[in-house]
Amino acid sequence: MKKTMILCMLACFCFASQLSAQNNDKKISYNMINEYGFYAGNTFGFEGVFINSIKFNKTNDLLGIGLGYTVDGDNGQGIPMFLNYRHYFDRGRTLQPLFNAAVGATYYFGYEDYYLCDNLYYPDNKGFGLYASLASGFKVKAFSFTAGFFMKSSPAYDNFNGGINIKVGYTF
């Protein structure tokens, strides 16, 4: 798994270096977006994501590959890997509304089986689960703020966890 992740990251950075080496009248541009925030639903947690995205033909649509880190009380630690689509509504102003959608999977590291003081059993949570997010917000220059909904599944619990997420970020 580590080798696959390293190869994916290396491919993204090689692709990004090829895009930045083009001349000024390029039709494809590269963006590195990083966002951090909290989510709440059946569980509470923190998530940070890094998205390597490209913009085609100077449109306001970005398509990217994301990788992140998530941690919460029920699922433990995980690495979300997803495809990301963003659309910026350019109204000729500094503040640009945006739409953000992501879909993919999360690999959970899991934790050892343990018992709480009231003898509740929590199973080991290692493996892949689904990941989806739908959000809207705004962008001011390189700063962004989004809020929306998420859906996740867990390998140990045979159900979906949904709720709301709030993130702030910066685009390079």
- The pLDDT tens digits of the residues spanning 41-68 come to 888 999 999 999 998 777 889 999 999 9
Q: What is the pTM of this model?
A: 0.77
Q: Which of 107-111, 118-122, 156-160 has the lowest mean pLDDT?
A: 118-122
What's the whole-number mean pLDDT along residues 96-108? 95
* Residue 153 confidence (pLDDT) above 80: yes
- CA-closest candidate to residue 157, choices 119, 122, 105: 122
Mean pLDDT score of the chain: 82
pLDDT greater at residue 100 or residue 43: 100
The pLDDT confidence band at residue 28, using thresholds 50, 70 and 90, is confident
